C-alpha cells in the first residue's frame, strides 16, 4: 500500500482497503510506542498545523505524533497568523508548501481545506471542517476494533446532530468499513440526501447498512456502539442552544438509552463533552437552561461502558499513521 504524497481530506477519497491499512498502521505504531521502540520514520521533516478553530486533542495528537516521527512542528493558532485576514488560502498554501513537508488544517468550510491542498504541493490533512472530521473516525474505528475485535457488522448508532462533521464522517466511515449505521435524531438533523445516496452506493459494495430513525428505543435496540457529539458545534451561534435543547433533548444518551442497548454496548464521544457543570460553558448553560448535562449524562460518561478516553488516546496513534503513510 503506497499512500505517499496523498492528502487526507475526507474518507470518501479513500478506499476501504486504504482505510484499513491506516488503522493497521496505527495499531502497529501504537504497539511500538507502548514497547518503547523508536519510530522516527520522518526524521528531519517539518509540519505546519493551522487551527482556525480551537482544539485540545487534534492539536496535541498532531504535535506528539510529529515529534515521535522525528519531525519539527509549527502551530498556527486561530488569531496569530495572516491566514484569511491578510493572506488568501491559496497564497498561504504556496508559502507553507515551500517550507513544510505537510500541513494540517482545522477550520470552517471543506472547500477551504480542499483549496489549501490544491495549492500546497505537499500533503494536507483535514483536522476538522464543518463537513468532515476524518482523523477522528480513524481513531473511533481503531477503538471499536480494539474493543470488539472487528468492524464489519458492528451496530453503530449516532445520536444527535447527524448533519454536521461527526454525523457525516461517521456515516461515510461506516459505509466504507461495513458497519451498520443508524442516525437517531429528528428528521431535520439527518445528513444531506446527496451524501446519504453516495454512502448507500458504497454500502452496497461493503455490506454496510444505513438507517435513519427518530424513535430512540427502536434505534438503540441491539446497538454495539452508542455515539454522540455536542449539540452546538464550533462556529455555530450560541443563540441556537435553545432550539437544539428542544430538538435534541429527547436524544440525550442517558442510562435509559444504555439499558435498552444492553450491557455489552459501549459509549463513545469525540469530545469535548457537556456532561457536567465543570466547564465555563457547561455552567453557563446549566444556569441558563436548568440542566446539569447536555448530550450525555454524567453517569453514562463516567460508566464502565464509556470508552471515551481510549478513543481520545487513539487520536494520536491514528494521526501518526496518516502522517507516516502520506509523507
Which positions are catalytic?
Answer: 106, 133, 136, 229, 270, 315
Question: Within 10 Å of residue 313's Cβ, how many Cβ atoms?
Answer: 16
56 is an interface residue for ligand CP by CB under 6 A: yes
Alpha helices, H only, the chain: 16-34, 57-68, 89-99, 110-120, 134-148, 165-177, 193-206, 216-220, 241-248, 255-261, 280-289, 298-301, 308-326
Name which of 16 and 55 has its Cβ closer to ligand NVA. Answer: 55
164 is an interface residue for ligand NVA by CB under 6 A: yes
Q: For residues 179 and 7, give the distance between their C-alpha atoms in angstroms, rounded to a whole number.
A: 25
Strands across the sheet with 72-76, in order? 72-76, 46-51, 102-106, 124-126
126 is an interface residue for ligand CP by CB under 6 A: no
Q: Which three cell numbers stand for residue 211?
A: 438507517
Mind giving me the DSSP string for 119-165?
HHSS-EEES--SS--HHHHHHHHHHHHHHHS--TT-EEEEES-TTSH
Q: Of 33-41, 79-87, 158-166, 168-176, which segment contacts ligand NVA by CB under 6 A?
A: 158-166
DSSP category for residue 269? E
230 is an interface residue for ligand NVA by CB under 6 A: yes
Q: For residues 115 and 119, give the distance between their C-alpha atoms in angstroms, rounded to a whole number.
A: 6
172 is an interface residue for ligand NVA by CB under 6 A: no
Q: Which does 164 bind (CB under 5 to 8 A by kind): ligand CP, ligand NVA, none?
A: ligand NVA
Q: Which three cell numbers stand for residue 22?
A: 491506516
Nearest approach, Cβ of 242 to ligand NVA (angstroms)?
Answer: 18
229 is an interface residue for ligand NVA by CB under 6 A: yes
Tell me which residues in 266-285 interact with ligand CP (CB under 6 A): 270-272
Q: Which does 233 bind (CB under 5 to 8 A by kind): ligand CP, ligand NVA, none?
A: ligand NVA
Kindly tell me which residue out of 7, 126, 136, 168 binds ligand CP, with binding defined by CB under 6 A: 136
Q: Which does 171 bind (CB under 5 to 8 A by kind): ligand NVA, ligand CP, none?
A: none
CA quadruple 291, 293, 299, 305: dihedral, nearest 10: 150
Q: Which long-range contacts (CB under 8 A, 24 or more apart) does 287-290 make?
A: 288/241, 289/241, 289/242, 289/245
- For residue 74, what are the β-bridge partners? 48
| Number of residues lying near ligand NVA (CB under 6 A) | 9
Tell me which residues in 88-147 interact with ligand NVA (CB under 6 A): 128
Name which of 18 and 229 has its Cβ closer to ligand CP. Answer: 229
58 is an interface residue for ligand CP by CB under 6 A: yes
Q: For residues 269 and 140, give the distance between their C-alpha atoms in angstroms, rounded to a whole number.
A: 9
27 is an interface residue for ligand NVA by CB under 6 A: no
57 is an interface residue for ligand CP by CB under 6 A: yes
320 is an interface residue for ligand CP by CB under 6 A: no
Name which of 234 and 245 has its Cβ closer to ligand NVA. Answer: 234
Residue nearest to ligand NVA (CB): 233
Tell me which residues in 250-279 interact with ligand NVA (CB under 6 A): 270
What residues make contact with ligand NVA under the rule CB under 6 A? Answer: 128, 164-166, 229-230, 233-234, 270
What residues make contact with ligand CP under the rule CB under 6 A? Answer: 55-58, 128, 136, 270-272
Amino acid at each position: 500500500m503506497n499512500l505517499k504524497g496523498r492528502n487526507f481530506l475526507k474518507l470518501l477519497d479513500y478506499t476501504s482497503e486504504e482505510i484499513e491499512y491506516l488503522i493497521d498502521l496505527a495499531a502497529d505504531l501504537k504497539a511500538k510506542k507502548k514497547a518503547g521502540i523508536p519510530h522516527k520514520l520522518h526524521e528531519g521533516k517539518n509540519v505546519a498545523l493551522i487551527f482556525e478553530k480551537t482544539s485540545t486533542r487534534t492539536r496535541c495528537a498532531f504535535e506528539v505524533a510529529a515529534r515521535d516521527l522525528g519531525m519539527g512542528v509549527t502551530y498556527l493558532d486561530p488569531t496569530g497568523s495572516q491566514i484569511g485576514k491578510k493572506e488568501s488560502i491559496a497564497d498561504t498554501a504556496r508559502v507553507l508548501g515551500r517550507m513544510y513537508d505537510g500541513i494540517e488544517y482545522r477550520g470552517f468550510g471543506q472547500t477551504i481545506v480542499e483549496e489549501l491542498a490544491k495549492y500546497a504541493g505537499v500533503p494536507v490533512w483535514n483536522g476538522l471542517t464543518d463537513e468532515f472530521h476524518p482523523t477522528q473516525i480513524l481513531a473511533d474505528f481503531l477503538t471499536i476494533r480494539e474493543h470488539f475485535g472487528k468492524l464489519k457488522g458492528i451496530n453503530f448508532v449516532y445520536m444527535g446532530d447527524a448533519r454536521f462533521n461527526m454525523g457525516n464522517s461517521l456515516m461515510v466511515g461506516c459505509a466504507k468499513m461495513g458497519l451498520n449505521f443508524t442516525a437517531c435524531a429528528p428528521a431535520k438533523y439527518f445528513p444531506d440526501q446527496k451524501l446519504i445516496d453516495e454512502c448507500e452506493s458504497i454500502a452496497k459494495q461493503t455490506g454496510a447498512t444505513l438507517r435513519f430513525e427518530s424513535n430512540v428505543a427502536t434505534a438503540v435496540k441491539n446497538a454495539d456502539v452508542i455515539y454522540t457529539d455536542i449539540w452546538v458545534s464550533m462556529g455555530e451561534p450560541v443563540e441556537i442552544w435553545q432550539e437544539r435543547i428542544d430538538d435534541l433533548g429527547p436524544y440525550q444518551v442517558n442510562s435509559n438509552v444504555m439499558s435498552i442497548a444492553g450491557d455489552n454496548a459501549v459509549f463513545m464521544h469525540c469530545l469535548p463533552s457537556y456532561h457536567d457543570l465543570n466547564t465555563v460553558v457547561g455552567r453557563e448553560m446549566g444556569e441558563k437552561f436548568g440542566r446539569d448535562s447536555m448530550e450525555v449524562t454524567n453517569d453514562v460518561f463516567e460508566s464502565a461502558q464509556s470508552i471515551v478516553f481510549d478513543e481520545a488516546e487513539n487520536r494520536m496513534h491514528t494521526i501518526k499513521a496518516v502522517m507516516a503513510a502520506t509523507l
